[in-house]
């Protein structure tokens, strides 16, 4: 069975992009936090795509079971003074090409980007992993792209590809789920994850400041240790 190669992304978050209009968040926001205007009064609407463990755990957006991004969003909502979080489905591929999400912001394991060779790789289309393979590793055999990581891992298990390139937490979860798959190593790219808003959103500053608060008081580190404990033991490649 083929091995998994993981793209390691630094778990620092920053709001990128920008929404407009909406209603101010309810009272109870962390003192000093700029006003965040939600689409629906008292509701923080957040987009993502399932399945996406361990960032989002569960198969039903109305009954999620936790996950790094779920717990993080819940803490963001509390600090913004928003009473309820509503998750909506929005495909990763639509997000990265600029389609407008019907949400206040989207969390989808999105990497913030500036604008070996013998394996046949599978990778989710339009991801930073696909870009890293093409521009840095440049394998001799053509890449196979898939609409989701689930489809990529299905191809790996059936022998259609020799390795899958994805984020470390995602491949670690797949290796636990599917017997015979292992995480071969990780490439250190020092990328950052970002929450995505519409360009020019007046909410960017408020969301960025709340994420900074979560980082500064150790809340993000606690979530990292909870959901990604094995990542530090994966050997580097390249």
pLDDT in tens, 122-142: 556 656 667 767 776 677 777
Query: What is the tens place of the pLDDT at every residue in 191-202?
Result: 667 788 887 888
- Residue 218 has, within 13 A of its CA and on its CB side, a CA count of 2
Q: What is the pTM of this model?
A: 0.66
Protein fold of 116-189: D-Maltodextrin-Binding Protein; domain 2 (3.40.190)
| pLDDT-based confidence at residue 25 (cuts at 50, 70, 90) | low
CA dist 54 and 220 (Å) reads: 14
Strand 163-167 and strand 121-124: the pairing is parallel
| pLDDT-based confidence at residue 117 (cuts at 50, 70, 90) | very low
Question: 133 or 205: which carries more pLDDT confidence?
Answer: 205
CA dist 33 and 30 (Å) reads: 6
Residue 134 tokens, joined: 């093409």
Residue 101 tokens, joined: 């999400």
| pLDDT-based confidence at residue 36 (cuts at 50, 70, 90) | very high
- We find that the CATH architecture of domain 24-111+191-229 is 3-Layer(aba) Sandwich (3.40)
- C-alpha distances (whole Å) from 128 to each of 1, 27, 65, 96 are 25, 38, 27, 10
CA dist 174 and 183 (Å) reads: 9
24-111+191-229 and 116-189 have identical folds = yes
Question: 79 or 143: which carries more pLDDT confidence?
Answer: 79
Give which of 4, 2, 51, 8 is closest to 151, Cα–Cα: 51
CA dist 95 and 106 (Å) reads: 8
Domain parsing of the chain, residue ranges:
24-111+191-229, 116-189
């Amino acid at each position: 069975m083929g091995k998994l190669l993981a793209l390691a992304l630094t778990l620092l978050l920053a709001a990128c992009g920008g929404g407009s209009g909406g209603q101010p968040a309810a009272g109870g926001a962390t003192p000093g936090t700029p006003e965040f205007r939600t689409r629906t009064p008292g509701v923080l609407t957040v987009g993502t795509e399932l399945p996406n463990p361990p960032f989002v755990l569960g198969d039903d957006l109305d009954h999620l079971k936790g996950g790094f991004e779920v717990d993080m969003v819940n803490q963001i909502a509390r600090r913004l003074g928003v009473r309820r979080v509503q998750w909506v489905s929005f495909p990763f591929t639509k997000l990265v090409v600029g389609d407008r999400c019907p949400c206040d912001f989207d969390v989808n394991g999105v990497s913030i980007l500036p604008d070996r060779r013998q394996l046949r790789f599978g990778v989710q289309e339009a991801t930073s992993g696909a870009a890293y393979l093409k521009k840095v590793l440049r394998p001799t055999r053509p890449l196979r792209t898939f609409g989701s990581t689930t489809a990529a891992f299905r191809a790996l298990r059936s022998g259609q590809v020799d390795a899958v390139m994805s984020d470390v937490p995602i491949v670690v979860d797949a290796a636990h789920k599917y017997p015979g798959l292992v995480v071969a190593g990780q490439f250190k790219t020092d990328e950052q994850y970002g929450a995505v808003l519409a360009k020019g959103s007046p909410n960017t500053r408020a969301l960025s400041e709340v994420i900074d608060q979560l980082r500064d008081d150790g809340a993000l580190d606690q979530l990292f240790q909870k959901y990604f404990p094995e990542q530090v033991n994966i050997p580097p490649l390249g």
